Amino acid sequence: MSHTEQDKHSHYADTAPGDESLDGYEAAEDVGTYLIGLGLATLLTLVSFFISRTTLVWEPSIPVALAVLAIAQMGVHLVFFLHITTGPDNVNNVLALAFGVLIVLLVIVGSLWIMAHMNHNMMPMDQIMQMQS
């Protein structure tokens, strides 16, 4: 692809999320993208299910491994199924995604953090019962 042609594709127009960015459109190539995505997602799912029941790895590491595998699989879905890329025609989509991820992290981590502290600071139930009687 010559430089000017690449310029035409990547510089002016944005790409809708879910669309391939190239408009020189090849259906077979697109099927290949979905197949790669399906293969990677299947692999990550199988590893997740295997890890959750295995005794091969150190037990406290299992939830961390599961979280990492899930995030990796979400990335695979975003790239190969939703076609969210780092290309210049995808900046708007990526920025919106980044904002969404920020809010999701704030809600989940913030809730867990605050509720763990409240649980920690709460008086045990039997003591509350004693005070009431």
Partner 1 sequence: MSAFDAAVGQEVSNRLERAQGHIARHAAGALASKRIIAGYGFWIFLLSDIVMFSAFFAAYAVLVDATAGGPSGQSLFNLGNVGIETTCLLLSSFTCGLASIGARTHNGFWFYGAMAATFILGATFVGIEIREFTGMIALGAGPTRSAFLSAFFTLVGCHGLHVTIGLLWLLTMMAQVFAKGYRADILRRLLCFSLFWHALDIIWVGLFTMVYLMGVAQ
93 binds partner 1 (CB under 8 A): yes
Site for partner 1 in 52-91 (CB under 8 A): 52-53, 62-63, 66-67, 69-70, 73-74, 77-78, 81-82
Residues in the chain: 133
| The one among 1, 5, 91, 112 contacting partner 1 by CB under 8 A | 112
Give the Cα separation of 53 and 41 in Å (integer). 19
* Helices of type H across 1-133: 3-10, 27-53, 61-76, 91-121, 125-132
72: amino acid identity, one letter: A
Could you tell me which residues come within 8 angstroms of residue 66 by beta carbon, excluding any fewer than 6 positions away? Answer: 48, 51, 52
| The one among 6, 111, 127, 130 contacting partner 1 by CB under 8 A | 111
> Which residues are at the interface with partner 1 (CB under 8 A)?
11-19, 25, 27, 30-31, 34-35, 37-38, 41-42, 45, 48-49, 51-53, 62-63, 66-67, 69-70, 73-74, 77-78, 81-82, 92-93, 96-97, 99-100, 103-104, 107-108, 110-112, 115
